[in-house]
Amino acid sequence: MPESAVPPTPPVPLTALLARENLALRQIAGPSDPGTVVHWVHTSEMADPYPYLLGGELLLTAGVHIPEAAGSGTYFDDYVSRIVAAGGAALGFGVAPVHDTVPRALVAACERYGLPLLEVPPQTTFSGVARAVWQLMAQARLSELRRVTEAQQSLASAASRPDPVPSVLRQLAQRLGGWAVLYGPEGAEITGSGREPGDEARAALARLAEVVRPDRPAPAAGAASPTSSASRAHSSGPGPGEPAAARSRSAHRPGPASPAGPQPTDPGRPAPTSATDTTAGLHLAAYALGAGHGFVLGVAAPGRAPGDHTIASVAAVLLSLLTGEQHSGTGAARSSALVRLLLGAAPEDVAPLLGGGRRWVVVHARPDGEGAPDAVAASALGAALGSALVDPAGDVVRVLVPAGRAPDPQPGWTLGVSAAVAPEDWPAADTQAARALARARATRAPLLRHGPRPALADLVPPGEAAAHARTLLAPVTAHPALPETLRTWLSLHGSWDRTAVALSVHRNTVRQRIARCAALLETDLDDPDVRMELWFALRHI
């Protein structure tokens, strides 16, 4: 049955219909498969109902069409085989007023062709059976909508966490009862969550991701896809799922055979936005993210319940926002700016390409907790700050933000923010942000800004101040760790513990370095005049 023929309501399991005591239906032939579902109810007294069926029906009949000599010929075999070929889900036979019992030859034919046969008692009307099916569909639809709504809320909440991408994947895996993974533009797994599938399914899901990836390489001529059966690609996303009865119809009607696995598409056509496959008992799905940047969401789940596609699509939209480029400047302009800087252009000449105005602030950020931030988390931080100019360098993320977008505290991050400067002062602003971050971590503040207020040191010409600083601090500048430790210790009013936190070293290390500074400088660091002079000098190196 084509996708467009599937009704916009969830199918009803045949077992749920049999469980309705007021109907008193009884299955007397055919397989008792809990996966058999009914998409709609149709009543017909035609000897050949095939032309009037779409697939997935519970066909109801009172046997008016059955001739008196039907039991001695092939009538019932022909009748049942045509229902099966049309994709019928089950046959319901109404007892009375035409037949007192279900014909034995019909029971035998249903057994041979694997068609569930239900006995409809005299007190149960066909319209009552149809009404029960619609009621079950309405209940299933309400349950599906409630499930999708709850999933949307939980996914949106996950996207607002400090680690938004892993949180969304974790929530999606929990909702679908499987595994969710984010593939990068080069096809590598960036991060995943949930019950990891076996190697076969994992490899099949990676291949499926290539089907939806933009600008994917054309497959080699004659190459056969090694994935398993039932693969489909959709240009606008899969529908609610093809019923098993419809697949039965296609198995009985002649047509071209389709090899298993995702099929190579025409390299001249755009890639589909989603694709599905079935491998090793798992349902696989891949969703292209964003506007062609190459990220792909992969899902492997043990089943495909109504609403799963909608839930996965919501996650795909959120991940597209979290992984997509921000429009503070086009990608081409940023590439041009980078090339010009590498070729020796001055920052003030490059800044107009970035579209942020004449003044900028530099933000240094470290995530709360252990571990270095990954590229996706850094990109999400940049998006929250309103800039795509992000540098995840080690355990610190640096972001260049237009001065008109004042950074706010971000949950899960500690931020140090520089003063607003012109592009030619970006290096100085980078130093300011680093020091502000160190102070913020030491004082456990979520965000600290470099103070733009003019200082007393501004009264001394910069050249003279720098010369004085080099002379005064010459004994300690030969040891790179000593000037930074002394600067941090002075900025934190001589606190050993907070300095240790800011520098990520042990407090005894701080004590040893400060004692070493005092010895090399031959001065008393407890003297406030000495501290003031050293602080003045440290600001100029």
What does the pLDDT read at residue 395? 83
- Neighbour-count burial of 539, counting CB atoms closer than 10 A to its CB (0-12 exposed, 13-18 middle, 19+ buried): middle
349-to-171, 355, 361, 391, 430 alpha-carbon distances in Å: 45, 12, 17, 21, 18
Structure tokens at 318: 């959120």
> Percentages helix, strand, coil for the chain, rounded to the nearest 5?
45, 15, 40
What does the pLDDT read at residue 330? 53
Q: In one letter, which amino acid is 124?
A: T
357-to-137, 348, 360 alpha-carbon distances in Å: 57, 11, 8
Query: Which residue stretches of the chain have pLDDT < 50?
Result: 1-4, 217-265, 325-329
Q: Does the model's pTM come out above 0.75?
A: no
Which sign does the torsion angle of CA 220, 224, 226, 232 carry? positive
What does the pLDDT read at residue 459? 59
Please provide the DSSP assignment of 223-260 as one string: PPP---S--EEESS---S---HHHHHHHHHS------S
What does the pLDDT read at residue 7? 58
What does the pLDDT read at residue 219? 41
Structure tokens at 282: 């798992």
Are 205 and 284 in contact by the 8 Å Cβ rule? The answer is yes
Q: What span, in angstroms and rounded, lies between the C-alpha atoms of 148 and 353?
A: 43
Structure tokens at 111: 């057994």
Longest dimension (CA), the chain: 120
Closest CA to 300 of 180, 457, 122, 127: 180
Closest CA to 279 of 301, 298, 311: 301
What does the pLDDT read at residue 142? 87
Residue listed under structure tokens 């300690």 = 476
Report the phi/psi class of residue 238: left, alpha or beta, with left for phi > 0 and alpha for psi in -120 to 50: beta
β-strand 296-301 against 396-402: which pairing, if any?
A: unpaired
Per residue in 157-211, pLDDT (tens digit) is: 888 777 788 889 999 999 999 999 998 877 888 888 999 999 999 999 999 999 9
What does the pLDDT read at residue 415? 92
Q: What span, in angstroms and rounded, lies between the C-alpha atoms of 438 and 442?
A: 6
